[in-house]
Amino acid sequence: MLLQRNKLGSVRPPKRCRSDMDNTSTSDIVIINGNSHPDLANMVAERMGLKNGGCSVFHKSNRETIVEISDSVRGKDIYIIQTGTKDANNNIMELLIMAYACKTSSARSIVGVIPYLPYSKQCKMRKRGCIVSKLLAKMMCTSGLTHIITMDLHQKEIQGFFDIPVDNLRASPFLLQYIQESIPDYRNSVIVARNPGVAKKANSYAERLRLGLAVIHGEQKEAESDEVDGRYSPPPTSSRTRTTSVSVGVPEHPVKVKPPLTIVGDVNGRIAIMVDDLIDDVESFVAAAEMLKDNGACKIYVLATHGLLSSDAPRLLEESVIDEIVVTNTIPHEIQKLQCNKIKTIDISILIAEAIRRIHNKESMSYLFRNVTLED
């Protein structure tokens, strides 16, 4: 290589063309995926100008998971795209085995790209169970993952369960853009929280869109603090065990009694937009929509990041008074869309691709939380 000297006599290397820099920045990236969402992995790889790495994941007749990586991963940065679906346990085992296979093959770094983190709703102690998301975090760290990219965790505090960096991306800019561009007369809308637990998220949407807020109160919440967790169990009455009675100063804990289902806020003649992080069992959404309709809502939309849509959710949504259900493609739901014409999908592969690019180039990730580019 020829070296040039400047006027001061110091040596400077020749300038590199942009194409060489681009090749250097992407030559050591390998994107692989399991069986959970290959379409999303292909879209992310295409946006980055890369081909999907050669990784085969299949199951033997006894349902054991086999992973075969055909390309070399030694000294490279591996990005494993594997989301959670209705087959959550297989999704997790595929991810753990792929990560461990890359670890034992001397990969430089292994980043798990998990748009929807399974078991994220089991992040609190219930009855005499356990915090399953904490266990899952330990398993992922032990398998060899060095970084996690996910999206809209059920609770942000789940990031603290991991001993490795976690980037919790946000899909709200895409959903906000959909409201502004695809809902006619959205200025006549009101953001609705189907229970008090979603009120914080709904309030965030209402503030950004300069819209009103309504909260449905009295509906039984799912995986929140008012569920029976065993702390109200009566003390043992065995004669061998001495118990403290209420009469000696320990007050009896009053039992929670839910009020009748009511709406706090005005929805009469307005477009009701319910927002949440996950749509799985839809009975509560359907019940909330019926109540909104009875209170005068002219149209009802449901927006969520993750559309799991388990069991007969598509049929219930098709038969409900809900006009449209909008979810992102963090979870594959093409079969559900065939069963329900109301389901619309927003592509978030551009956000994941940009997150991978920034992590690989050691750029700041905080930009994605302030400014999300929505154009291709």
Q: Do 103 and 143 contact (CB within 8 A), yes or no?
A: yes
* pLDDT class of 232 with cuts at 50, 70, 90: low
pLDDT reading at 11 higher than 70: no
**Range with the lowest mean pLDDT among 60-64, 102-106, 243-247, 292-296?**
243-247
How far is residue 139's CA from residue 224's CA, in Å, rounded to a whole number?
25
pLDDT reading at 359 higher than 80: yes
Report the pLDDT value the prediction gives residue 205, as an integer from 0 to 100.
96
The highest-level CATH class for domain 173-221+260-346 is alpha beta
**Range with the lowest mean pLDDT among 9-18, 76-85, 146-155, 279-288?**
9-18
Query: Which of 127 and 213 is assigned the larger pLDDT?
Result: 213
pLDDT reading at 305 higher than 90: yes
pLDDT reading at 260 higher than 60: yes
pLDDT reading at 64 higher than 50: yes
The average confidence (pLDDT) of the chain is 86
- pTM for this entry: 0.83
331-340: long-range pairs with CB below 8 Å, 24+: 331/37, 331/83, 331/84, 331/85, 331/115, 331/116, 331/306, 331/307, 332/36, 332/37, 332/39, 332/40, 332/83, 332/85, 333/307, 333/308, 333/309, 336/307, 336/309, 339/314, 339/315, 340/314, 340/315
pLDDT tens for residues 87-112? 999 999 999 999 999 999 999 999 99
pLDDT reading at 235 higher than 70: no
Query: Which of 144 and 128 is assigned the larger pLDDT?
Result: 144
Which residue intervals of the chain bear CATH 3.40.50.2020? Answer: 29-169, 173-221+260-346
pLDDT reading at 234 higher than 80: no
pLDDT tens for residues 140-188? 999 999 999 999 999 999 999 999 999 999 999 999 999 999 999 999 9
* pLDDT class of 257 with cuts at 50, 70, 90: confident
Report the pLDDT value the prediction gives residue 54, as an integer from 0 to 100.
85
Share of the chain above pLDDT 70, in %: 84
**Alpha carbon separation from 113 to 17, 146, 364 (Å, rounded):** 31, 11, 17
What is the DSSP code string of 89-138?
A: HHHHHHHHHHHHHHHHTT-SEEEEEESS-TTTT--S--TT---HHHHHHH
Report the pLDDT value the prediction gives residue 256, as an integer from 0 to 100.
75
Side by side, the strands of the sheet bearing 166-169 are 29-33, 77-81, 109-114, 147-151, 166-169
What is the DSSP code string of 64-83?
A: -EEEEE-S--TT-EEEEE--
How large is the average pLDDT for residues 120-135? 91
Q: Do 305 and 327 contact (CB within 8 A), yes or no?
A: yes
How far is residue 260's CA from residue 335's CA, in Å, rounded to a whole number?
37
* pLDDT class of 21 with cuts at 50, 70, 90: very low
The domain 29-169 having CATH identifier 3.40.920.10: the answer here is: no
pLDDT reading at 329 higher than 90: yes
pLDDT reading at 245 higher than 60: no
How large is the average pLDDT for residues 104-130? 94
Q: Do 249 and 227 contact (CB within 8 A), yes or no?
A: no
Closest to 132 in 3D by CA, of 161, 159, 111: 161
